[in-house]
Amino acid sequence: MKENKFSFKQRAKSFQYAFQGLRQFFNTQHNAIIHAVATVLVIILAVIRKLPATEFLFIVVSIGLVWMAELFNTAIEKLCDMVCPQQHPQIKFIKDVSAAAVLITALVAVITACIIFIPAFL
């Protein structure tokens, strides 16, 4: 039986795959640019407003969750397209529910931002 040894080379390769996935995501998904612009604007606003660490943390977590949802949604859609290239009601359901997860996550992020930023401006 082969022993599993820790390998920096293997760890580096796994990061390489992840960055390749991000590159492909940004090159193929128009929503990625929208999320990137929103992310930069919100972080700049948080820095300008000098948000307390706790509030900044909520912003960062919300941003991360939206990115995760969008990446998972993209992966699910690509997998569905590969499994069933033609239209199918069950595939449509899967894609719609996956897109709804992104929508819910984005709405929660917007609500979080409103709770934090509106009082900061008043």
What Rg value do the Cα atoms of the chain yield, rounded? 19
The pLDDT value recorded for residue 1 is 56
Q: List own/partner pairs for 58-64 with CB under 8 A and 24 or more apart.
A: 58/112, 58/116, 59/112, 59/113, 59/116, 62/108, 62/109, 62/112, 62/113, 63/39, 63/109
Q: What is the pLDDT along the chain (122 residues), one digit of tens a residue?
A: 566 777 788 888 888 999 999 999 999 998 899 999 999 999 999 999 999 999 999 999 999 999 999 999 999 999 999 999 999 999 999 999 999 999 999 999 999 999 999 998 88
Per-residue confidence (pLDDT) for residue 2, from 0 to 100: 62
CATH class of the domain at 11-121: mainly alpha
The domain ranges of the chain are 11-121
pTM of the model as a whole: 0.85
**Residue from 14, 28, 10 nearest 75 by CA:** 28
What does the pLDDT read at residue 54?
96
pLDDT the model gives residue 9: 81
